[in-house]
Every structure is written in C-alpha cells, then in structure tokens.
Structure 1
Amino acid sequence: MSLQKPMMRGLLAKRLRFHLPIAFGLSFLAAIAFKYTVTEPRKQAYADFYKQYDAVKEFNAMREAGVFESVRPSGE
C-alpha cells in the first residue's frame, strides 16, 4: 500500500477557485455590516446634533468663558 502522490501542478489555482469567492463574499458581508452598524448611526447622530446646533450661541458662550485670546467678552 503506497501513498498517493501529492498534486503539485495547479495546486494554487485549484485552492484559489475555492477560497477566493468565499473571501470576497465574507468581505462584502463585513462591509455591509459595518455600514449599517457603525456609519449609518453615526450619520444620524450628526444630523440630530446639527438640527438644533446654534453656532452663534456656542461662540458667545466660549467668548464669555475667555476661550479666545483675540476676542474680548462683550462686557468689556
């Protein structure tokens, strides 16, 4: 009883035909999962924040707190 000779010619091509579609499929699923679990909620959070964000009010609050060196508080 002898062992079967290993297949040496075309081994890479044969393995790629099997593994490459699996790799592409899994990477596509990972990208879709990332899009809907990370980026979509993040975009919605930014949209919700900027719906009620008032930049002038925020600037005046920072100016009153003395954050800026070149802008005087309105009381001076």
Structure 2
Amino acid sequence: MSSSVLAKPQMRGLLAKRMRFHLVGAFIVSMGAATYYKFAVGEARKKAYADFYRNYDSMKDFEEMRKAGIFQSVK
C-alpha cells in the first residue's frame, strides 16, 4: 500500500492574501464600469443636451405652449 503525504494547506495569512486579490479586482472592475459609464452615457448625454440647446428658442417654445393652452394664467 503506497500512501503519499499531502502538503499542508497554507493557513497563516490566507485571508490577507485573498482579500488583497479581491480588493484589487474590485477596484479594477469599478474603475472600468465608471469609465464605461462616463464615455457611453455621460458624453452622449452631454452631446444631446448641447445639440438641443444649440438652436433652442425659449420664447418660441413659450409661445407655442401658450397657444396650445397649457398655461392657465397666461392668455
């Protein structure tokens, strides 16, 4: 009967080692998500607002709403 001796598992410092690995991974994933959101959502939203307000005339919009009867206090 041959029996091989198993290596002892590492117990000392195991939590710190695993925590370091997971903290670095979590930091990288969160920075990636923040960068993705900034460029995919934030920049597109800023561009959409800039395009809208480039030719926006608030008085023309007000007059159209007034003629449509949206405002009760303005005739």
Aligned equivalents of 1:18 and 1:56: distance in 2?
58
Q: Which runs of 4+ in 1 moved over 6 A?
A: none
Residue 66 (1) aligns with residue 69 (2) = yes
The RMSD of aligned alpha carbons is 1.6
Aligned equivalents of 2:67 and 2:18: distance in 1?
67
Percent of pairs identical after alignment? Answer: 58
C-alpha deviation, 1:13, in angstroms = 1.1
**Under a length normalisation based on structure 1, what TM-score does the superposition of the two structures give?**
0.81
Q: Which runs of 5+ in 2 are unaligned?
A: none
Deviations 1:14-51 (A, max 9, x none): 11111111110111011101100111011000000000
Q: Which runs of 5+ in 1 are unaligned?
A: none
C-alpha deviation, 1:11, in angstroms = 2.7
Q: Which residue of 1 aligns with 2:22?
A: 19
**Under a length normalisation based on structure 2, what TM-score does the superposition of the two structures give?**
0.82
